[in-house]
Amino acid sequence: MTEPASDHVDAATPGGRRHRVVIIGSGFGGLFAAQQLKNADVDVTLVAKTGHHLFQPLLYQVATGILSVGEIAPPTRLILRDQKNATVVLGDVNRIDVAAKQISATAGHIAFDLEYDSLIVAAGANQSYFGNDHFERWAPGMKSVDDALELRSRILGCFEQAEVIDDEEERRRLLTFVIVGAGPTGVEMAGQVAELAQHTLKDSFRRIDPASARVILLDASPAVLPPFGNKLGNAARARLEKMGVEIQLNAMVTDVDYHGIEVKDPDGSRRRSDASCKIWSAGVKASPLGQMLADQTGAEVDRAGRVLVNDDLSLPGHPEIFVVGDMMSLKDLPGVAQVAIQGGRYAAKQIIAEVEKGRSPADRKPFKYFDKGSMATVSRYSAVVKAGPIEISGFIAWIMWLVVHLAYLIGFKNRITTMFSWGMHMGGDHRSQLTSTKQWVYARQALERVAAEEAAAKRPSGETQQPAEARTSARVD
């Protein structure tokens, strides 16, 4: 059995084998850590529950038909196929044994274990409903390819149903879209839904005018894009309102159901907005692996489930374990791609220094984040950029947004096809990815139902089954 974790990282390994680095997660932190280790004298195993690297900042463009899945989610195995010291494994990690230096995962119904000498945990974050997880049934988030495809089908399905229904009240409900959360994702999504309705779908229906669709962006905070400051937030708000998007701030969501959404205003009054399509982008929570690590190492977690790490991104008493990206909490660093990228590279460099140069973890310099700025697109030809004291909005900011996002896409082919898709969109608002299916709408709830049935089948005969009304229904718009 492997020796328990101590206060140092061993460069030498039993039997002369190479140092084993296991990376959990194929997002920005995990992938860039693996690539940083390309020429290192280590064996890298990257394990993730999906087989692709998701460029999450452009996920909303998949949901609104601008880009295809393949353009923003290339297979991780192909990205790393020329890196001979790297092995890619598809698996959902469900256990980390810190004392044994071992992780356990499943791929379908196959369970397997991986041992490590160094561990980089970059499992990312999920959507947070702030303790109201039942909201997800009617207001899906947007954190995965599946989420984006489901939302695309829900959005387009609302227009299709509105075209054939005779009831005017129900038609208005079908043509009302509510986006919860006025951060970058919510702003980008609201702008694209408005453009889709007003331009892309123009003249394509005979009984309805898609431009009559009502798009509502609401948030419990008093501002749009709070991290960007008042100037840029107001610029984004003005642009959205010019596009017809209704901005409702200081509006706290209290309930979400099939028919719509209920919010509480600052004066305590409650009101409802009937809406068929609800989209949630209001918060995130870290992977539950963070709490699992905290329970075993004595580390603390914040309200979002992020692990409070040391200055070198390691866990207390365990220099061999690094936590990066959305899972870590350090000096109020934001949950953005650059923090994950720089954190992943930093962790990999520490491992290289200690394995190849014999340095001690005590010699590590603290992780320093270089803030390259933040940006969000509002609509075609309009974005906001904040880089230190520099604040830019409008067309120039939009050009900067295009260049930066193209630069960080993985693969030359993906950059070329993305440029072509953007060109079609800019030239005439053509969207070539407007395919939707019933299965994409129903799949998530169907999987939940199957999981519940499997759990019930394994339940001892003496236990009662969950009431039918409490189980997930497949009724969706």
Residues assigned a catalytic role: 188
Bridge partner list, 178? 216, 278
The pairing of beta strand 307-308 with beta strand 328-329: parallel
User: Is residue 144 within 8 Å of residue 54, measured between CB atoms?
Assistant: yes
Beta-carbon neighbour count of residue 222 at 10 Å? 11
The SS3 call for residue 20 is: strand
Write down the residue that tokens 């899972």 correspond to: 327
Q: How far is CA 26 from the centre of its chain?
A: 12
Supply the DSSP string of 238-296, one letter for each residue. HHHHHTTPEEE-S-EEEEE-SSEEEEE-TTS-EEEEE-SEEEE-S-EEE-THHHHHHHH
User: Is residue 184 within 8 Å of residue 192, measured between CB atoms?
Assistant: no
Alpha-helical (H) ranges within 285-336 are 289-297
User: Is residue 119 within 8 Å of residue 320, measured between CB atoms?
Assistant: yes
Terminal alpha carbon distance of the chain: 54
User: Is residue 471 within 8 Å of residue 452, measured between CB atoms?
Assistant: yes
**Among 182, 237, 210, 247, which Cα is nearest to 382's?**
237
State the Cα–Cα distance between residues 315 and 322, nearest whole angstrom: 7
Alpha-helical (H) ranges within 184-257 are 184-195, 229-242
User: Is residue 79 within 8 Å of residue 410, measured between CB atoms?
Assistant: yes
Q: How far is CA 465 from the centre of its chain?
A: 33
**DSSP assignment, residue 200?**
I
